[in-house]
Structure 1
């Protein structure tokens, strides 16, 4: 007879008077490793937090730990979104601070963070080293937490979880921000801890999963539907019949034929060289795919283009026809650019409303601090409707599911019909239909001549308009090539 490990009975969860989970019942038996999937906003993360004891709900949740196991009697929830703190225990950082932290030294290094975690949990440090190597994370030991990209932060949280090996390990979006090699190695590590007695609950819609996964659960209509195999998610045949707003059909006004030009660009932090002799030219109207392993230098490269990196002045870098440091301000640069990235999402003002968040894109601020003229207000309304966010326009950004938050920031990115669109893993947290919807929009925008730099690890989540690819490896340009659109699509 099967023995239950997690038992959930008559679970009800409401959020702002709206039912999310209703009379939900779910039994996870010992030895069952689950994937929990469903549409964005269906309640997956909320349910996981309830199981982990991090969120309250009406109902009964019992966990039957194995007292004879050598593993800790614990449930560990690894968030898709991780907020680190500085040495004073404060998480109040600003976006550009990541690139100036060498002067401040105000956060722990990765090594110090792991030492602290190991002492807190009573773990042996020699046991974490194989995990660091498997996830290609050993080289980040001396890096401060604030210097890490979203993918690198994800790796750090995964390293801790795999090191601790709790009896129940719940990971929200385990593959977000990870390159292909890291995703593969993570699955091997998850299979290893499963063989050692850890039960897994992964929240994701991904197809490449650990072989130890043997159960699937989907949240449908506020209930759990269970099967031994995942329902096939066919590519949506839904036609996106909404017409793109007229103000986004206009071709951007280019200030130069060369949007970006880098000549032997080098970026170093002390003795650590992050970018080495980068030569790259992006001409007006080109559509580029930027790729590379975690830690290859992609985020640093983009920070130079965004005007956020102070070392740009020490290099031969041209943006929109002007050499960097020739008198233009960071805000003058940002007027040409629409940007979305996981890191920017971290630092955005979550207490702004949906409407305010989108409108702030006109002024490149992290909140709306002035009243919009009628024409701009109308454009915000149009774009809010296009993304299906009209009903949520007065809600705080922080109250929305992660997928909808990302859609809001995507709308903010394009509101001013920028000369250059920089999309750094824009589909993180979106479900399949939202991803298709957004990439359809990107294709439409770029058909009007907009310049695009797109960062994406998953080839199934790329727009079809991409024409060229630049690949970074250990801070150097490894490949520059034209793309075969059919392969990518």
Structure 2
């Protein structure tokens, strides 16, 4: 099949864009906008996180190894880069005429992004590409036709859209004080000494040493598969590999009698996967207050003091007028902001923000980063911020970098400066 390279399209989206329906219409050949009519009788394939999640679910629940039939490794155990490589290879086996790419570089480290970009540039000579992207930096160089999807409306663009001035994302109000201070008198929040982790014959971490003190702001970085998730699970109490290691959390020696819940009471945590747990009719006010009780939903009647605290947090991010709206009706950027606040509302000694900007558009990502910066600057909470992307507005003091090696990833602490 032949086609003109100029038929490649980029559709810029934000967290209000309703792209799922448009993608479904294009793939099904129904209600296709005039700009994409040329695809009507062609065969398409979707490269997206949602498509990948469906394959992971099939493998986990039904033991259907569509993407990993040639290996013993499961999709869930692969790094993000390995998963996306497997998905692309699987899609190309069916020889589609065109590929729809939805935020293809999300959750990928720099090296994996470069590798995928090179692969897509080669594919662009054989396949038509429709790229849906939230971040301007993800634009592929061979695309010269641009659109913006505003809600459901497709708007042609003559130029790549400009990103708003980052100064407009500043949060001017102070962060609210906690209702009561969580007592913590130790000089260290986290101390890991010579931590080693392996799974079968695979060595993941090799003699990792890391100390986090009260009020410090850290970025945790490293390529896909370097052990970032494993390291976080050693800290947040969910990994049995932590027992028998020299790990001290909140003054507790790991495995010496503390429970997971003892640790979690003093810890705030947000990763985008948590959002799926909140599918009920939770108001924003109740979502934030539920962080005080570590519950999925609010099952006690909030008092005036709780409602006042929630109002102060919503005022900080300019969403106090939405306090009675249901959480599930928010756009993705708003959900991430609310979940970050929910994790921080108690001012825990440690806050972990695991890929809090994943899937967000440029503006929403900048708002989440601005909130993280402000919480770090105006509290005594130690914060770990995990991101594969370089977020230029992030003002961390230190970086803990995992570097893969044959014996397992090594860790190094890098100072960035002070607030």
Q: Select the residue among 281, 284, 293 that pairs with 2:214.
A: 284
Gaps of 5+ in 1: 6-28, 68-72, 91-106, 117-124, 126-140
CA deviation profile, 1:344-372 (whole Å, cap 9, x unmatched):
34x52333524343333223333334433
Residue 348 of structure 1 pairs with residue 301 of structure 2: no
Residue correspondences, number: 410
- Decide which of 423, 426, 429 is 2:353's aligned counterpart: 423
Q: Is the 8 A contact 1:187 1:210 kept in 2?
A: yes
Q: Does structure 2 retain, via aligned residues, the 8 Å contact 1:162–1:190?
A: no
**Cα gap change, 1:87/1:158 in structure 2, threshold over 3 Å: closer, same or farther?**
closer
Q: 1:47 aligns with which of 11, 22, 29?
A: 22
| Separation in 2, partners of 1:249, 1:441 | 20
Out of 77, 100, 108, the residue aligned to residue 178 of structure 1 is: 108
* Matching residue within 457, 478, 486 for 2:388: 457
Name the structure 2 match of 1:85: 57
Shift of 1:397: 3.8
Superposition deviation, residue 341 in structure 1? 1.8
Q: 2:149 aligns with which of 212, 219, 222?
A: 219
Gaps of 5+ in 2: none
Distance 1:114 1:222, change over 3 A: closer
- Partners of 2:6 and 2:34 in 1: CA distance: 21
Sort the Cα spacing of 1:373 and 1:48 in 2 relative to 1 into closer, same or farther, 3 A.
same
- Bigger drift between 193-202 and 292-301 goes to 193-202
SS in structure 1 of the partner of residue 17 of structure 2: coil
Structure 1 Cα separation of the partners of residues 93 and 281 of structure 2: 38
User: 1:431: Cα distance to partner?
Assistant: 2.5
Of structures 1 and 2, the one with the larger relative CO (CA 8 A, separation 6+) is 2
- Cα distance in structure 2, aligned partners of 1:405 and 1:150: 23
- Identify which range, 410-419 or 212-221, moves more after superposition: 212-221
Please, which of 57, 62, 66 is the counterpart of residue 113 of structure 1?
Answer: 66
Q: Deviations for 1:306-325, whole angstroms, at most 9, x for unmatched residues?
A: 11112211211110111012
Alpha carbons of structure 1 residues 363 and 157: separation in structure 2 relative to 1, 3 Å: farther
Residue 433 of structure 1 corresponds to 363
- Relative distance call for 1:157 and 1:484 in structure 2 (3 A) is farther
Q: Deviations over 1:166-224 (max 9, x none)?
A: 22211221111000111111111111111113333232323243322121111347533
Is 2:138 the partner of 1:169?
Answer: no
Instruction: Output one character per residue of 1:239-266: Cα deviation in whole Å (capped at 9) or x when no partner.
Output: 6454134325998643421111111212
Q: Which moved more, 1:395-404 or 1:441-450?
A: 395-404
1:330 aligns with 2:299: no
Counterpart in the other structure of 2:198: 268
CA contact (8 A) 2:9 2:146 kept: yes
- Asked if the contact 2:19–2:152 (Cα under 8 Å) also holds between the matched residues in 1, the reply is no
2:168 alignment partner, SS class: coil
Retained in 1: the 8 A contact 2:164–2:363? no
Once the two structures are superposed, the pairs formed by residues 27-38 of structure 1 within 5 Å of their partners are 31-38=6-13
Q: Aligned in 2, Cα 1:159/1:342: closer, same or farther, shift over 3 Å? A: farther
Residues 388 and 58 of structure 1, relative CA distance in 2, 3 Å threshold: farther
| SS of alignment partner, residue 230 of structure 1 | coil
**Cα drift, residue 432 of structure 1:** 2.4
C-alpha change, 1:395 and 1:292, in structure 2 (3 Å) is: same
Runs (4+) of structure 1 exceeding 6 A deviation are 56-62, 249-252
Please give the alpha-carbon distance, in whole angstroms, between the structure 2 residues aligned to 1:216 and 1:249: 49
Shift of 1:299: 0.6
Relative to 1, partners in 2 of residues 1:236 and 1:362: Cα closer, same or farther, differing over 3 Å?
same
Q: CA deviation at 1:152?
A: 5.4
DSSP 3-state at the match of 1:285? coil
Distance change (3 Å), C-alpha of 1:361 and 1:153 = farther
Please give the alpha-carbon distance, in whole angstroms, between the structure 2 residues aligned to 1:240 and 1:250. Answer: 27
Counterpart in 1 of 2:375?
Answer: 445
Write the distance in 2 (CA, Å) between the matches of 1:262 and 1:313.
12
Structure 2 match to 1:15: none
**Are residue 74 (structure 1) and residue 43 (structure 2) matched?**
yes
CA distance in 2, matches of 1:367, 1:482: 39
Matched-pair contact (CA < 8 Å) for 1:357–1:367: yes
